[in-house]
Amino acid sequence: MSALRYFDESQRSAGGRLLPPNLSGRTKTTPRPLPSLHPPPRPISSTPWRVLANPGSGKQPRAPTVRREPLAAAGLRLPPDPAAMSSRAARSLPLLASLLVLLAAASASESDHKYQIDDPVTLWVNKVGPYNNPQETYNYYSLPFCQPAGEAAHRWGGLGEVLGGNELIDSQIEIKYQKNVDKGSICALELDDAKVKQFKDAIENSYWLEFFVGFVGEMRSDRNNENKHYLLTHKNIVVKYNGDQIIHANLTQEGPKLLEVGRTLDMTYSVKWIKTNITFAKRFDVYLDYPFFEHQIHWFSIFNSFMMVLFLTGLVSMILMRTLRNDYAKYAREDDDLETLERDVTEESGWKLVHGDVFRPPQNLVLLSAVVGTGAQLTMLVLLVILLAIIGMLYVGRGAIVTTFIVCYALTSFISGYVSGGLYSRSGGKKWIKSMILAASLFPFMCFGIGFILNTIAIFYGSLAAIPFGTMVVVFVIWAFISFPLTLLGTVVGRNWSGSPNNPCRVKTIPRPIPKKKWYLTPSVVSLMGGLLPFGSIFIEMYFVFTSFWNYKVYYVYGFMLLVFLILIIVTICVTIVGTYFLLNAENYHWQWTSFFSAASTAVYVYLYSIYYYHVKTKMSGFFQISFYFGYTLMFCLGLGILCGAVGYLGSSLFVRRIYRNINHEEHQRQREWLPFHIVGCDRGPFAGAISDGAFTSEISFGSVSSLENLVVGQTFIWSTTHI
C-alpha cells in the first residue's frame, strides 16, 4: 500500500463559505486565515490519497499514514446513517477472534508485498469530512460518489485502526501493476437536486477524502460575482514503483464540470506508472515534515529545558543540603550542662517538630494508593511506548500507536497493583477488596465515562468516530481478562513483599495541632505553584504534539519526546520535594495529598494551554469537533495529572524518609513530658539524685541549679524531663 501526497494550488477555494447540509436557514461564515503553524506546502505532489495493491491473495500491503496540507475552512456534518452504523458494528465483531493476535505483538509494519506485472491493485476509499475538524469523519459514500457495483469489499485493520474510525472500502476502480491507462471510465454520475446540494455543501466546507485530500470540486466566480460550483470529474493517477513494490502515488484532478440538476457527468481516470530509485524502506520519508519538527526552535527548547533541569536540581540540592546539614549538626551536638539537656522547645521548629505525625496515614488512603499505583503504571507505560516507537517506527502504521498503548497498558497493570498494594499495606489499610478494585478500574473507567459521552455524540452525528460495539467488547475483554487479573496479582505481591511498615519515626497517638501560617504556605497555594515549572519544561513539546494530532501531521521525533519526558520527571520530583519541605517547615504534616496535587497541577496548565491552542491555532467549529477536542484533551490531562502526581508523591516520600532517618535516633524521638519523680537523694550545689518513675531507674547527675536547691530527700515533685 502506498500513500500519496499532492497539493494543487488550482484546487483552492476562492472564498469558500460554511453551510451545514440541509440546514440552509443557518448563517454562513467566512473561514479564518490559516494559522501560522503550518509550513508552506512542499512541492512533492498534490492531493494525498491511498493505494492498496492486491496480488490476488487477499493480503494488502500497508500504507503510511498520509500527510495532509491545510486547505480552507470547515464545519459541517452529514445526516446520521443508522444502517451504516449498525452494519459497521456488526462487521467489527470478528475482531474478537483476533484478540490473541493483537496481544502477541503491536507491530507497525506488515510484509513487504511484491507484485508481478498485471497483478490487480485495489484502490481503497476510507472516509470524508471537514478538513478543519479532524475527528468529524463519515463514510466515503455518504457523499453521492459513484457507488461500487454489488457488495463492495471492506478491509478492517487492527484494533487501533478501528478505534481511529477507519473503514476501507474497495472503490472497484480497475488498476493493474505497471499497466498504464490512458482514460478509463468510473461511472456516469446522474445529478439530482439532493446530490447537487450535498456536493455544494462539501465543496463550501472544504471536505477532504482519504482516498485523496483536497476539494471534491472547486468554486468559481462569474462576472456577476456569483459563486458557481464545479465538480472535478477526471483523476490522473501517477504511481511510482521500484522493481516489484509500490513506492509512491500522486493524484491530480481536472475536468471541472458545472454542478447542475439533471446533468450527467462522466467520471473518468487515468493511470501512469513511473520507475523510481527510492527503496521500499524509505517510502514513508516523503510524508515526514522535517523542517517543522526539526526546526531550531525545537532543538533550542530541549536545550533550554535541560539547562533548567541542571539549574533546578543544583539549586534544590544546595538549599536543602545546606539547611539539613545545619539541622543535623545542631542535633548532633552533645553538651553536658542542664541547659543543653533541657533545650527549650522553642528552639525546635519546622519539620523536626512534626516527626511524630509526618508518617500518619493520610485521609482517603484507598484513593491515594489507587492513583499513585495508576500513575506509576502510566509512567512505565509511556516510557515503554516511546521506546517501542523509537525502535519500531510505529508512526508508519495506522493505529499502531493506539494498539501498542492498549496492549502495553494491559501488560503493565501489575505495576499498578504492586505499588498501590504496597503503599496501602504500609499505611495500615484494611479495606483490601475496595483497594484492589479501585486500583484496577480507576483510570479505565474515567476514560470509559468520557468515551461514552463522545461515542453517543458520534452515533447521533452518524460519524465514523463512533466506536463499534464489537470493538468495545474487545477492549473490555482485554481489561477484564488481562489488566484486571494482573492488577490483583500485583496487589497481593505488593502487600506481601513491600507492605511492611518501615517508618523511621513512630506515630504519636494524638495528632499535633497545625499552626496557622501565611497564605503562600497553605497546601492549595503550594499545589498550584508546583505545576508551573514542570509545565514550562514541556509546553513547547505540547505544541508539536497538539499540532501533530489536530493538524494531520505525522509525529515521528520520539527521541525528542523521550528527552522531554525524562526532563518532566526530574523537574516534577525536584519541585515537589521543595514544596514538601516548605510545607513540613510550616509544621504541616499533611504532605501526602499536597505532594500529589502539587505535581498533578501540571495537567491543569496543559488543559489551559489547550484552550489557548484551540482559539489561536485551529479553525475548528461545530459542537461535534469541540466535544471531541476538549473530551480527548481532558482524557489526556487526567492521565498526565495522575502520572505526574504519582511521580511527585513517590519522590517526596523518599525525601521525607531520608531526612527523618538521618536525624540522630535518640535525639530524634525526644518529646517533653511531665513525669512524677520521688527524690531519694540530693545535696545542695552540685548533687546527684537517683530517681524512679516506676518504668525505669537511672542515675542522673545535675549541675548546680537554684531551682533544685530546696529539694529534700523523700519529697515527690513534678519535673519536666525528656523521655526516650
- Percentage of the residues of the chain whose pLDDT score is greater than 90: 37
What rounded mean pLDDT belongs to the chain?
A: 75
Kindly give, in sequence order, each residue whose CB lies less than 8 Å from that of residue 130, ignoring residues fewer than 6 positions away: 74, 75, 76, 136, 205, 206, 207, 208, 622, 625
- 16 has a pLDDT exceeding 60: no
Strand partners, 121: 175
Beta strands 264-275; 227-242: pairing state: parallel
> Which positions ≥6 away from 240 have C-beta within 8 Å?
2, 246, 247, 248, 249, 250, 273, 274, 275, 276, 278
How sure is the predictor about 693, in pLDDT bands with cuts at 50, 70 and 90? very low
From 343-357, 442-456, 541-555, the region with the lowest mean pLDDT: 343-357
Per the model's pLDDT, the better-predicted residue between 248 and 368 turns out to be 368
- With contact defined as beta carbons under 8 Å apart, do 467 and 454 qualify? no
More confident residue, 132 or 77: 132
For 377-401, what is the mean pLDDT? 88
Q: What is the mean pLDDT of residues 501-523?
A: 85
- Among 83-97, 624-638, 698-712, the minimum mean pLDDT is found in 83-97
Measure the CA–CA gap between 531 and 645, rounded to whole angstroms: 10
**pLDDT tens sequence across 345-355:** 444 557 888 88
Least confident span in 19-33, 186-200, 698-712: 19-33
pLDDT, residue 638, reads: 97
Single pTM value for the model: 0.75
Nearest residue to 35 (alpha-carbon basis) of 76, 77, 73: 73
**Residue 297 — very low, low, confident or very high, per pLDDT cuts 50/70/90?**
confident
pLDDT for the residue 106: 34
Dump pLDDT digits (tens) for 315-336: 777 877 776 676 666 655 544 4
Residue 28 has pLDDT above 60, yes or no: no
The yes-or-no verdict on residue 260 having pLDDT over 70 is yes
Average pLDDT over residues 47-66: 35
Residue 660 pLDDT > 80: yes
Alpha-carbon dihedral sign for residues 170, 174, 180, 186 = negative
Q: What pLDDT score was predicted for residue 152?
A: 80
Cβ-contact 512, 550 below 8 angstroms: no
| Confidence band of 46 (pLDDT split at 50, 70, 90) | very low
128 contacts 208 by C-beta, under 8 angstroms: yes
SS (HEC) of 663-716: CCHHHHCCEEEEEEEECCCCCCCCEEEEEECCCCEEEEEECCCHHHCCCCCCCE
The helix/strand/coil state of 181 is strand
Higher pLDDT, 143 or 27: 143
What would the mean pLDDT of 198-216 be, rounded to a whole number?
73
Q: Which of 240-254, 310-324, 538-552 has the lowest mean pLDDT?
A: 310-324
Question: CB atoms < 10 A from the CB of 258, how many?
Answer: 13
Task: Quote the CA–CA distance of 539 and 501 in Å, as a whole number.
Answer: 39
